[in-house]
């Protein structure tokens, strides 16, 4: 019997996601996201910083994406690199973000970083929260 996880997914699903993350890029960073992140860090004087992404409970769909610039590693952090961009996240977030593409949109619906998460079964209208 599989154990039910507190966020509404089964432990076997978490293992499938984790194993998938080992086989492909943890997070793919588009050229537009890279250009924007590098420019923003330079403008804010954050030389030597990396992008920290994560997931926390909240939002209209149950889980919310987090994105900040940081220069401090934590004990439970995992480090990845794609397209010359260093990405750091805590171990819990690895399970939710395996295979995600980080992009940047400056379109009519607003400006900001966008997560294209293949693990999300439902997202809210603004794209800032999701559920599995």
Contacts of 8 (CB under 8 A, 6+ apart): 62, 131, 132
Q: Per the structure, how many domains does the chain have? A: 1
Domain extent for 108 = 11-131
pLDDT at 112: 87
Distance CA 71, CA 6 (A): 31
Separation CA 121–CA 77 (nearest Å): 25
Asked whether residue 33 carries a pLDDT value surpassing 50, the answer given is yes
Kind plus residue range of the DSSP H or E element containing 131? strand 129-131
Is 73 domain-assigned?
yes
Q: The CATH number of the domain where 115 resides is what?
A: 2.60.300.12
Tens digits of residue pLDDT in 51-106: 999 988 876 657 888 999 999 999 999 999 999 999 999 988 888 888 999 999 88
pLDDT at 122: 60
Who wins on pLDDT, 116 or 30?
30
Please state whether the predicted TM-score (pTM) of the whole model is above 0.85: no
Q: Report whether 44 contacts 37 (CB < 8 A).
A: no
């Amino acid at each position: 019997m599989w154990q039910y996880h507190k966020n509404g997914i089964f432990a076997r699903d978490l293992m499938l996601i984790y194993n998938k993350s080992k086989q492909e890029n943890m997070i793919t960073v588009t050229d537009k996201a890279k250009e924007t992140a590098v420019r923003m860090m330079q403008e804010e004087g954050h030389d030597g910083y990396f992008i920290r992404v994560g997931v926390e409970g909240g939002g209209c769909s149950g889980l919310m994406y987090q994105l900040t610039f940081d220069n401090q590693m934590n004990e439970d952090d995992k480090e990845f690199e794609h397209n010359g961009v260093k990405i750091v996240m805590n171990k819990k977030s690895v399970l939710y973000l395996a295979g995600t593409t980080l992009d940047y949109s400056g379109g009519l619906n607003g400006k900001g970083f966008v997560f294209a998460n293949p693990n999300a079964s439902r997202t809210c209208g603004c794209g800032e929260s999701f559920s599995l």
